[in-house]
Structure 1
Amino acid sequence: MTSTVLVTGATGTVGSALLDALTDRDATVRAATRSPPGTGPADEWVAFDFEKPETWGDALAGVDALFVMRPPQLSRVGPVRAFVDAAGRVGVDRCVVLSVLGADRNPLLPHRRIERHVAASPLRWTFLRPSFFTQNLVEVHGDALARGEIPVPAGDGRTSFVDARDVAAVAAVALTEPGHAGVAYDLTGPEALTYDEVAAVASDVLGSPVAYTDPSLPRFVVRELRRGRPLGFTLVMSGIYTTARLGLAGRVTGAVERVLGRPPRDVRAFFEDYGDERTASRRLHGE
């Protein structure tokens, strides 16, 4: 029987990849976002906002499985928890939560507070705890990368970069196949690299020099704020890179391969795909 899957954050890094991953599965895919584009790899688009309960009814109608992603700009977890409660009341069966690596060891993280609330709900849950997305090198720091820089304050710490497309593929399995209820998956790439090593890979694949500049934390914060980044987002990034600097971001797991039956993409594969997309875009625009 075809199920209905609701994807929150459907235009985000993982959400958009999840829509693609669900394309060939026996499911009606409902994409939820604050400003629906109306077109894309989904059967239905719906306007949705965690902070506007009046949008929840249409989003949850007839839903069997739910993908929950807390928007980075949402400082409070209360609206997400209330939405989870609403999902339970209308009979949603399963819930896949996008969390973060290490959430189980840090009760102060909003991701962990959401996890605990979902675990206490009637929903059959699966928690996805990914490491740092490889896509952030382009989506967050793309301007700097175009200048040949990776300007993050991570020292010589290693990071087990994971491709968001692999996280989305795991989410698609957990949303549509049995055997994943009550499981938390720590999702990483196949290796942990320093940012110097990432810069070397990017230089080799993209064919132009990329340097890891390793600014001090205060310099990084000032630079990001001057570029117009919100303070909250800048502080979150600072915490992530400090974790790497302290040597706490390098753990590698085999969860992606166990779920998907194939190894996760590495950083080189990501930059190869990114380079192909960039070349195709330049050709399209006559550059």
Structure 2
Amino acid sequence: MILVTGATGTVGRHVVQLLQQGGHRARAMTRGRPGHPLPPDTDVVRADFDDPDSLRRALTGVHSVFLLTAPAAPTPDHDLALLAAARSAHVTSVVKLSAIGTGERFGTVTVGAWHQAAEDAVRASGMAWTVLRPSSFASNFLHWASLIRAGQPVPNLTGEGKQGIIDPRDIAAVAVAALTDPAHAGMTYTLTGPEPLHVPDQATRLAQVIGRPVDTTDLPPAVARQQLLASGMPSAAVEATIIGSAWARAGHNAVVTDDVEKVLGRAPATFLSWAQRHREAFIGTR
């Protein structure tokens, strides 16, 4: 049995589906919050990272875990709680979803400091482990779907900084490979798409798909910080977002690797192909 945390989210739902399609037993862990629906025959367990008893129930009979946490404010606490419960349940392996650039120094700060603490705990867990560090998700563009439908410009937090935008389905496919093949134990994979793109590049490709221009507007870090705080985002989450955006803006995430191809035996999907698959989300009238 493989436990999938974050099972109704952007990556987790694909992990569940791919495991099922491959004939593997998958248990989907969710806190019951709205997310992507799962097939009706999915083994679903309600659990919360802040409830140790629920984690113990979720881990009953489990041998491997896909560890994806998305706390409102950056903290490794949820990862640590799951790892402690997994050790008690004699889980043998864990695949941790982290983020590209984790642990890199940028000025006086550390990029992805909370992911680094969680990665360290995974490596010291005594379980077989694999760490996945994906670049920026193609699906992040869905945040701007309503603006694009209304003909308004997309905010650009990363300026001219290019990133190896990756399709979440490729992340999930690599995760499933790591969960089901011990050859990936002890590996840290940096997962990217096939080409470095900045936000205007993405907008141009999406414009090709929807048949009309998609404009962008630069959003400097100071302005982005003000807007994110005004939206109600926790201050710690705002600072993590600003650090990551400034790091990418400075060109540090202009990275393309062949890790997806090495694991899957095929090239990663392009942003254009992702946009074509999600065209309906962006169609609207001015």
Same fold (TM > 0.5)? yes
Q: Are 2:48 and 1:49 aligned? A: yes
Asked if the contact 1:217/1:238 (under 8 Å) is kept, the reply is yes
1: CA distance, partners of 2:37 / 2:137: 25
Amino acid corresponding to residue 159 of structure 1 in structure 2: Q
Q: Residues 71 and 179 of structure 1: is their aligned pair in 2 closer, same or farther, counting only changes over 3 Å? A: same
Asked if the contact 2:221/2:242 (under 8 Å) is kept, the reply is yes
Displacement of 1:23 in angstroms is 2.1
Asked if the contact 2:98/2:115 (under 8 Å) is kept, the reply is yes
Task: Name the residue aligned to 2:93.
Answer: 94
Asked if the contact 1:151/1:215 (under 8 Å) is kept, the reply is yes
2: CA distance, partners of 1:79 / 1:221: 26
Task: Name the residue aligned to 1:126.
Answer: 130
Q: Out of 109-118 and 65-74, give the one that drifted further.
A: 65-74
Displacement of 1:278 in angstroms is 5.9
Q: Out of 87-96 and 98-107, give the one that drifted further.
A: 98-107
Deviations 1:171-221 (A, max 9, x none): 011111230100010000000012221111111111121112112222223
Q: Are 2:24 and 1:34 aligned? A: no
Q: Residues 77 and 267 of structure 1: is their aligned pair in 2 closer, same or farther, counting only changes over 3 Å? A: same
2: CA distance, partners of 1:150 / 1:17: 27
1: CA distance, partners of 2:274 / 2:126: 38
Q: Residues 78 and 229 of structure 1: is their aligned pair in 2 closer, same or farther, counting only changes over 3 Å? A: closer
Deviations 1:125-159 (A, max 9, x none): 00000001110111x33333333422022121111
Q: Out of 232-241 and 176-185, give the one that drifted further.
A: 232-241
Q: Indicate which of 166, 170, 175 corresponds to 1:166.
A: 170
Q: Residues 39 and 135 of structure 1: is their aligned pair in 2 closer, same or farther, counting only changes over 3 Å? A: closer
2: CA distance, partners of 1:213 / 1:228: 22
Q: Residues 48 and 74 of structure 1: is their aligned pair in 2 closer, same or farther, counting only changes over 3 Å? A: farther
Task: Name the residue aligned to 2:81.
Answer: 82
Task: Name the residue aligned to 1:73.
Answer: 72
Task: Name the residue aligned to 1:145.
Answer: 148
Task: Name the residue aligned to 2:184.
Answer: 180
Asked if the contact 1:19/1:29 (under 8 Å) is kept, the reply is yes
Displacement of 1:11 in angstroms is 1.3
Asked if the contact 1:6/1:31 (under 8 Å) is kept, the reply is yes
- Alignment gaps of 5+ in structure 1: 283-287
Classify the secondary structure of the residue corresponding to 2:184: coil
**Superposed CA RMSD:** 2.2
Task: Name the residue aligned to 1:261.
Answer: 265
Asked if the contact 2:72/2:234 (under 8 Å) is kept, the reply is no
1: CA distance, partners of 2:282 / 2:157: 26
Displacement of 1:74 in angstroms is 4.9
Displacement of 1:110 in angstroms is 0.8
2: CA distance, partners of 1:205 / 1:9: 30
Amino acid corresponding to residue 206 of structure 1 in structure 2: I
**What TM-score, normalized by structure 2, do the two folds share?**
0.89
Task: Name the residue aligned to 1:285.
Answer: none
Amino acid corresponding to residue 133 of structure 2 in structure 1: R
Displacement of 1:68 in angstroms is 0.6
Q: Are 2:196 and 1:192 aligned? A: yes
Displacement of 1:256 in angstroms is 0.5
2: CA distance, partners of 1:227 / 1:196: 24
Give the fraction of aligned pairs with identical amino acids, expressed as a percent. Answer: 34
Q: Residues 163 and 154 of structure 1: is their aligned pair in 2 closer, same or farther, counting only changes over 3 Å? A: same
